[in-house]
Amino acid sequence: MEDKIDRTLVYYLVKQKQILDKVNMSNSLTVDEIIHYGEEISIIENKITALEIAKEN
């Protein structure tokens, strides 16, 4: 089970980095796009936190 958690954790960490890189590399994002990416990052961070807690237990 821990192997599945580790793989899923890596997946979400990669997705998080991709979104952050996209936001940081762009200089023409609209306000709506920034809000959208912020919401996506928030969801991903919650999933990462839940996976880290599950891994500890």
Mean pLDDT of 4-14: 96
Please list, in sequence order, all residues whose beta carbon lies within 8 angstroms of the beta carbon of residue 45, skipping any fewer than 6 positions away: 16
Mean pLDDT of 20-35: 95
pTM (two decimals): 0.86
Please list, in sequence order, all residues whose beta carbon lies within 8 angstroms of the beta carbon of residue 44, skipping any fewer than 6 positions away: 12, 15, 16, 19
Q: pLDDT of 40-52, one tens digit each?
A: 999 999 999 999 9
